[in-house]
Structures are given as structure tokens and as C-alpha cells.
Amino acid sequence: MAKKPVVMGTLAEVLPETPRVSTFVVRLPEEAEFSFVSGQFAMLSLPDFLNDKGRPVRRAYSIASSPHDLARKTLSFTITRKGEGGLFSNRIHEARAGDPVSVEGPYGSSFVLDPQDPRPHLFIAAGSGIAPLRSMIRTLLSKEAPPPIELLYGFRGEEDFIYAQELTGYEKSVPNFSLKTAHSRPSSHWTGLSGRVPELLPRLYPSYKGQVVYMCGHPEMVTQTVEWLGTAGFPEEAVRKEQW
């Protein structure tokens, strides 16, 4: 991929989402020219975090904010701390407000929102795969007449619900927004959907109803979801996917 411009930003805020996930809000300099489409990602690095060749360690992260948030000169990234072995994701969780963060991008041309598509939008996410979908949902909700939006979001249990307040807020206040959350390791008092996302699809989406689908999650979830949607008659053109 051709190298894109690099902007040196500053970490403005770290917002804890779950015990292992935080959202990092990066403020760009006033003069920076950065634009992107929901669904794209950027390469992040920390100038003082170098690999054994003396170059900054870089990793790809989906932009979790919407292009409208750029009016405040900010970009958000929602990052899971990988734990043992996870080089960059562990290091950025040690970063503090005021630390410099380098943002290179945006990258990605296949998994991008078409905000003019009038079809009902079905978003399917697992874990931190919600990040690019949150950007897309924010973009759609900033329109005067957003299309109907349904989000099926799978995560382990209650404490792993990223953007819980924001998404349940949409569910309550946006007329055409429907949220289905599914717990893969439900506690004994959870009464909602239980199981991994692909296991739930035959019951929830037995046939194609004219939606456009955007999904993001780990490769196994994405492969199995694409497989089911094909079986259910969703046309390939209507199914967009990102995985990591």
C-alpha cells in the first residue's frame, strides 16, 4: 500500500470501555489536513516506542470516530489490550494524555460506508470489531433521514460491552435503530441472546430482506457469518467485511 501522510497528534483522552479495551482520543494539530471515510483505518505509532531496527512500531487501527468529529480536530481509536505478547496494544494502554501519537493514513478502500445507500443497514460486530461500525453508525445518524439501522453485537459478557452507553442510548432515542447484544459467556442472570454471533444468524436472519451488511470481527466470525449470509440468499454485493 502506498504510504500516506503522517500527522503528529497528541493523546487528548483515554476513555476506559471495558477491563481490556480503551478508546484513545487523538487531537490533531489545527493546521493538519486529515480526512477519511467511515470504515477506514490508520497506522498508529508512538515516537518513543521503537522496534529492534530503531523504527517506530506501527499497527493498524480502525478509526472509531466519524468524519464529523474532525470538526473538533479529533480521531478516536478503540484498542484491545492483547495481554501477553501484544506489543503495541499493551504499550499504548500505558500512554497518558499529552503523549505524542503519530497517525498515518487513512488507509482502506473496500470496507467503507456508502452514506447515500438508502437500504436498511445491518451491522454485525464481535468484540472490538465494533470500532469501524461505530464510525459508520455515527455518520448515518448525522444524516437528516438515516436509513433503518440494526446492530447485532456479540461480546463475552456484560462487562465487555464497548460503547455501552452510546449504543443503548441510540436504542432508546433513535426511532429506526435496533440493537441486539449477544453474550458468548453469559452470566446466570443474563436473559438476552446467548452464543457466538454465527450461531445466532440462522434464527435472526433466515432470509435476505434487502439490507446492506457491514461486519467486523475476528476472522472465524467473519468467515462463518459470510457463509451463512450466502446460504440465506444475501447477494455478495450487499455484504461488506473487515477482519483482524
Ligand X SMILES: Cc1cc2nc3c(=O)[nH]c(=O)nc-3n(C[C@H](O)[C@H](O)[C@H](O)COP(=O)(O)OP(=O)(O)OC[C@H]3O[C@@H](n4cnc5c(N)ncnc54)[C@H](O)[C@@H]3O)c2cc1C
Which residues of the shown chain bind ligand X in the complex (CB under 6 A)?
41, 59-62, 78-80, 82, 84-90, 128, 131, 244
| DSSP SS3 for 21 | strand
- The smaller minimum CB distance to ligand X, of residues 183 and 241, is found at 241
Min dist CB 183 to ligand X, Å, is 20
Instruction: Read off the C-alpha cell for 198.
Output: 454465527
- The smaller minimum CB distance to ligand X, of residues 190 and 244, is found at 244
- The smaller minimum CB distance to ligand X, of residues 68 and 82, is found at 82
Min dist CB 130 to ligand X, Å, is 9
Min dist CB 131 to ligand X, Å, is 4
DSSP-assigned letters across all residues of 150-196? EEEEEESSGGG-TTHHHHHHHHHH-TTEEEEEEESS--TT--SEES-
Min dist CB 102 to ligand X, Å, is 15
Where do the H-state alpha helices sit in the chain? Answer: 87-92, 130-141, 164-173, 197-204, 219-231
Min dist CB 118 to ligand X, Å, is 27
- Residue 56: CB atoms within 10 A of its CB come to 17
**Cell 500527522 found at:** 7
- The smaller minimum CB distance to ligand X, of residues 122 and 131, is found at 131
- The smaller minimum CB distance to ligand X, of residues 110 and 188, is found at 110
| DSSP SS3 for 222 | helix
